[in-house]
Chains A and B, each alone.
Chain A
């Protein structure tokens, strides 16, 4: 599994799953992402990503309990696999290495207020 196989949205979804575990399922993830990014995130898009990530072996899933809001339907709950967690680490390491190598003053200063 190469890093390049992880799309940006996928990466974020993967991270969100890690954040929300053990209650990570598509609606929760979509809500979380909407809050974090301020953009509309549909469960459809999240569902597609989750399924891709599961096919890649980065996530595993099981069916959870049913709730009233879901009309008595069960939800599919996701959790990271070992490969998934290694992938997250690799991605983070790569980014960190690159950040560390940026010479000081290279990036235009942005006032973070």
Chain B
């Protein structure tokens, strides 16, 4: 077999050979390449060149095995990975020490930035962790209802008692159903008597669905018998101290005893289901209110379904209409249609639009994540700016290193290791700051974030990687710029900062200040909106209104007139009124038929206040048409209703007067509308004023409002409390001030504003740190120039102008960029409020001016110092 002459293009693909030579361990290259080529030529001869080439890459790929890549251990040490790296860090450390001012600015800026990031990360993590701790969380679904009336569809998060019960009976694919019913109850043991707001009636299956750690007692049976109660650790301590609570009893509402059957660990802060006490559902549905068991229209229950694995919830949902048809077709009340849906538990907290016991805000998460990223970015920009500004200083060093044989890559690694070292310092500081600030942050954000998360490896690793990432991000540009210097030009002394670097630096400063201006504008807007909502005319008197909550206590309701009169007898109480709700508090919604302008009865679900004869007067709610309730008309307490303007409008009446005298039927009462009141805000200004009906009903009271004199409120309170406990010994004196309670509705917005102000302030602070570094550097660089200018007769003010002008220009550009973006974002934010301020130019001018002043203040200190310096000092040597 004589080998044929090979044409040059008969050789296998060149790039594949290169690949093999690059990756194959050197001691194997010869045999591997030889094998490949020999085989290739065999194949060329056998199948022709085209096919051989095609097969060649497969042959090459077959060598992609660890033993091919693995290099033989070298007999010589490799100093690049040990000594040089150590040397880089040593040099970096020395550099940091020798430039204390810059290092301090950088480390401070970075560590503040990282602290913000860590805190926000903790917050976001907490928000995302809701309900994760239930081991079956991904199989739990919340049953929710849409109520369709002729006029609207109301989406609610609650269900009625039979819905859950019959679902379990009718659908074998439903593994478990747990219903919950929230009620505030009065509990008592010996001298301990408290109104417990966090009390749930819960099905015996509660613990099969949810995971709450049981400390004592048997959960299987804990919630089976009527009058059983499961309590949390804290509740046990509160009522029983160190005693064993199991088997002991708690008196509920002063009328019957509950037996403690189990103690559970306190509910974690990231749980949607919150409780201190769990009373067996049988207590409610067998003993207290047995009718409710079959009342399909009586809502108030949260129902959770546990489905087996791999069940498609939509397939189950599809069967719900038939299910409802089967059970309530005959008893459907008027024109209300109920349809049921399922919501995955893990989505309820953040994504549901229906509300719930606790819900989070997805937009807040986005907002704060973005702010965290911004703040970190600002800190990184500081580093980049200062590092490139100092390039001239390091240029000689780079030159010498290169002359001595340093490669560009090695220098890049050296500069990167400097920035990484810096960011690791900052990381350590930031961890300490975060740990220290966490309690304050919890206070501010209203969350309970456990600090134990600090000791989780994953979390720390993640943050460490973040720090590393920040170091690389901040250092990569300067590292490339610095390592790219040509030694010849640098060492000749012909070095000057490139204009490209200058432009970039300016651009970065602009970005920093644009972000700062946006944050200032945001803060101003949030606060203006909050103030606007607080100062807005609400349509009723809210000052000096003391409201006593007796929680629908029957005994109190029966003696209402006597109690009111007794309280009124106190000289500082101006008037008293009883009602089912007050503005800012939750109220019932009632299914109501009202005659519309066409003379037909039209149905809708409408807010309802039950009041007494004194309520409207005490709250100074204005009647715009017809008349107010009056004791002179005996029928007022049985056949009369007052509606607000919004209700009149929603039924199609052009003016309030037209609505007067129209017929209504509501909750078993029929009669006529006797008057229309001016709209007042029963909810926060985030919401439009909704239709409201008001009627006299002495059996539906929950609150007593007292209008008291402003002076010496503590002593009035003390006197009233004494009086109350004499009148109603079995009820604690549970009160609030209406204005404070109303403001509570803005709690979230207030928090948002405070967080905004903190983070905005920090962002500006970090930006100023950077600016300070830059100006001081510029001053040092231009020291001689300033000296010469002064010698030639320049005035101090002209020098200050010279130095500050450039920076102020940047702030103005930043303002121009920031304004439209901020305007857009803020408009979106304000869109959530039904009653809102207009965003005027004022906000942005204020923000821009603020940023300008802050920048000016930062820059002027250094520039004034430079302008005042004696030129002799800067010019004498050389």
Contact = CB atoms under 8 A, between A and B. Distances in A.
B63 A47 contact: yes
Contacts of B62: 42-45
A76 B39 CA distance: 14
Contact of B37 (A31, A44, A47, A69): A69
Contacts of A30: 39
A75 B65 contact: no
Interface stretch (B25-33, B221-229, B468-476): B25-33
Contacts of A51: 67
Contact of B63 (A27, A44, A52, A76): A44
B58 interface: yes
Contacts of B11: 71
11 contacts: A26-B35, A31-B39, A47-B63, A51-B67, A52-B67, A66-B34, A68-B3, A70-B37, A73-B30, A75-B34, A75-B38
A85 to B, nearest CB: 24
A71 B11 CA distance: 10
Contacts, number: 69
A73 B63 contact: no
Contact of A44 (B3, B38, B42, B59): B59
A26 B38 CA distance: 10
A43 B63 CA distance: 8
B31 A44 contact: no
A26 to B, nearest CB: 5
Contact of B3 (A48, A69, A73, A76): A69
Contact of B35 (A27, A52, A66): A27
B790 interface: no
A67 B65 CA distance: 26
A73 B33 contact: yes
Given A69-B3, A74-B31, A43 B36 contact: yes
Contacts of B39: 27, 30-31, 43
Interface of A: 25-27, 30-31, 42-45, 47-48, 51-52, 63, 66-71, 73-76
Contacts of B32: 47
A30 B32 CA distance: 13
A52 B66 CA distance: 12
B16 to A, nearest CB: 13
Contacts of A52: 67
Given A43-B39, A48-B67, A71 B58 contact: no
A42 B34 contact: no
B346 interface: no
B34 A71 contact: yes
B179 interface: no
A29 B188 CA distance: 90
Contacts of A66: 34
B142 interface: no
B660 to A, nearest CB: 95
Nearest to A72: B34
A22 to B, nearest CB: 17
A69 B11 CA distance: 10
B139 interface: no
Interface in B43-69: 58-65, 67-68
A105 to B, nearest CB: 43
Nearest to A67: B38
B610 to A, nearest CB: 85
A69 B38 contact: yes
B731 interface: no
B58 to A, nearest CB: 7
B41 interface: yes
Nearest to A28: B38
Interface string B445-470: 00000000000000000000000000
A25 to B, nearest CB: 8
Nearest to B33: A73
A27 to B, nearest CB: 5
A74 B63 contact: no
B21 to A, nearest CB: 12
B30 to A, nearest CB: 5
A42 B38 contact: no
A94 B558 CA distance: 99
A63 B35 CA distance: 13
Nearest to A26: B35
Most B Cβ at <10 Å: residue of A43, A51, A52: A43
A48 B65 CA distance: 8
State the 5 A-B residue pairs at the shortest beta-carbon distance, nearest first. A44-B62, A73-B34, A42-B62, A70-B34, A44-B63
B72 to A, nearest CB: 13
Given A42-B59, A73-B30, A47 B42 contact: no
Contacts of B35: 25-27, 43, 47, 70, 75
A30 B58 CA distance: 14
Given A74-B30, A75-B31, A69 B41 contact: yes
B327 to A, nearest CB: 63
B39 to A, nearest CB: 5
Given A71-B37, A73-B33, 6 more contacts: A44-B59, A44-B63, A47-B35, A70-B33, A73-B31, A74-B30
Contacts of A73: 30-31, 33-34, 37
A91 B631 CA distance: 111
Interface string B1-28: 0010000000100000000000000000
Contacts of A63: 31
A10 to B, nearest CB: 14
A63 B61 CA distance: 24
Contacts of B37: 69-71, 73
A27 B58 contact: no
Contacts of A70: 33-35, 37-38
Interface hub of A63, A68, A73 (most chain B Cβ within 10 A): A73
